[in-house]
């Protein structure tokens, strides 16, 4: 695919465009010199017994319409990109227009967010305007993964409970929204041992949350769990600093049961929370973080 972005293709596109415009003009000149035949001016095509197709030249107004179209195309290509890699005299780009529109929108919204900047999350959740804006931001930017109610789904965290892989504070949420986050569970099957060892560890992990498990296999897997304890802790309660989940609760992000745990230990998993810092302003993220934080706090918003 890299061959399609070199300078040769740009010249090819520009050449085809120019030749196409010139060819249109040549056809118009040829067509304009045609005259009505003195005798039989039909093409020989007849429909419905007496409906004959005549070989008349184009009307003058139609000819001039084509000429104006070609002239407009030439002027357009002089000002705007269209001839290969030529940027045009105005230097217009769709990206530049988008960024200008975004800057204009942000400038218009600055006065709206101005009074929220110094407010803490606890204050923002009591402000109906701030939470209304936060809700719209959430629906537009977060609901695609976490759901419109914030309860998530398999592979996408539930934001309405108290189970946070990180600190769960408004500041941490704001940082995560801005910079994104990558969560990785490495493949651990080789470190744990055989396939039976992996199943035993899976049952021990299930036993930590009093989930249904094979008690004999769990006892055998307890010793092998030391491999996992480096991240999840010796008691399996996780490590927020590493983003390692708590295995003692019954909250399963990627599926529950022996098969799901075995798959996780065997294959590992990488989850990505995309950074929103380029899409949202710091003021928007500040309000959005307060809204997300409040989903797990249940604080009643004023006026509701």
Tokens representing 147 are 């759901």
Please give the sequence-ordered ranges of beta strands (E in DSSP) within 9-88, or none if there are none: 42-47, 51-54
CA–CA distances in Å: residue 267 to residues 67, 187, 270: 65, 5, 10
Tokens representing 240 are 């927020």
Pairing type for strands 269-273 and 181-185 reads antiparallel
Report the pLDDT value the prediction gives residue 5, as an integer from 0 to 100. 61
Q: How far apart are CA 291 and CA 283, in angstroms?
A: 13
Task: Set out the domains of the chain in order of their start, with CATH numbers.
Answer: 2-79 (no CATH), 101-180+274-295 (1.10.760.10), 184-273 (1.10.760.10)
Closest CA to 133 of 304, 303, 297, 289: 289
Q: Is 282 exposed, middle or buried (0-12, 13-18, 19+ CB in 10 A)?
A: exposed
165 Cα distance to chain centroid: 23
Q: How far apart are CA 159 and CA 172, in angstroms?
A: 13
Measured over the CA atoms of residue 235, residue 241, residue 244 and residue 249, the dihedral's sign is positive
Report the pLDDT value the prediction gives residue 196, as an integer from 0 to 100. 93
Show the CA angle centred on residue 267, arms to residues 266 and 272, nearest 5°: 140
Report the pLDDT value the prediction gives residue 288, as an integer from 0 to 100. 96
Closest CA to 188 of 160, 230, 218, 135: 230
Q: How far apart are CA 301 and CA 132, in angstroms?
A: 10
* Tens of pLDDT, residues 67-115: 899 999 999 999 998 888 888 889 898 889 988 998 888 888 888 888 8
Along the 304 residues of the chain, how does pLDDT read in single tens digits?
455 566 678 888 888 989 999 998 888 888 777 676 666 677 778 888 888 887 777 788 888 898 899 999 999 999 998 888 888 889 898 889 988 998 888 888 888 888 899 899 999 999 999 999 999 999 999 999 999 999 999 889 999 988 888 888 999 999 999 999 998 899 999 999 899 999 999 999 999 999 999 999 999 999 999 999 989 999 999 888 888 899 998 888 888 899 999 999 999 989 899 999 988 999 999 999 999 999 988 765 554 4
Residues 165/157, Cβ–Cβ less than 8 Å: yes
User: Percentages helix, strand, coil for the chain, rounded to the nearest 5?
Assistant: 50, 10, 40
Tokens representing 260 are 């799901």
How many other β-carbons are positioned within 10 Å of the β-carbon of residue 151? 14
């Amino acid at each position: 695919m890299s061959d399609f972005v070199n300078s040769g293709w740009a010249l090819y596109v520009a050449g085809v465009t120019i030749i196409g415009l010139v060819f249109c003009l040549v056809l118009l000149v040829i067509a304009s010199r045609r005259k009505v035949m003195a005798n039989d001016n039909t093409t020989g095509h007849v429909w419905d017994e007496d409906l004959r197709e005549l070989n008349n030249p184009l009307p003058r107004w139609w000819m001039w319409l084509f000429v104006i179209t070609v002239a407009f195309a030439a002027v357009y290509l002089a000002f705007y990109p269209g001839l290969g890699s030529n940027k045009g005299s105005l230097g217009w780009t769709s990206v530049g227009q988008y960024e200008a529109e975004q800057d204009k929108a942000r400038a218009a919204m600055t006065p709206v967010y101005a009074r929220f900047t110094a407010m803490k999350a606890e204050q923002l959740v009591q402000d109906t305007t701030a939470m209304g804006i936060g809700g719209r931001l959430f629906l537009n930017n977060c609901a695609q993964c976490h759901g419109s109610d914030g309860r998530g789904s398999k592979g996408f965290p539930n934001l309405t409970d108290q189970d946070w892989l990180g600190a769960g504070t408004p500041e941490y949420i704001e940082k995560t929204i801005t910079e994104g986050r990558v969560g990785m569970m490495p493949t651990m099957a080789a470190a744990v041992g055989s396939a039976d060892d992996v199943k035993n560890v899976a049952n021990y992990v299930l036993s930590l949350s009093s989930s249904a498990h094979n008690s004999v296999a769990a006892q055998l897997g307890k010793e092998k769990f030391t491999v996992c304890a480096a991240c999840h802790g010796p008691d399996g309660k996780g490590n927020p600093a590493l983003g390692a989940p708590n295995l003692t609760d019954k909250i399963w992000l990627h599926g529950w049961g022996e098969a799901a745990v075995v798959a996780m230990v065997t294959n590992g998993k990488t989850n990505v929370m995309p950074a929103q810092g380029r899409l949202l302003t710091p003021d928007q993220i500040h309000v959005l973080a307060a809204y997300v934080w409040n989903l797990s706090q249940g604080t009643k918003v004023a006026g509701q």
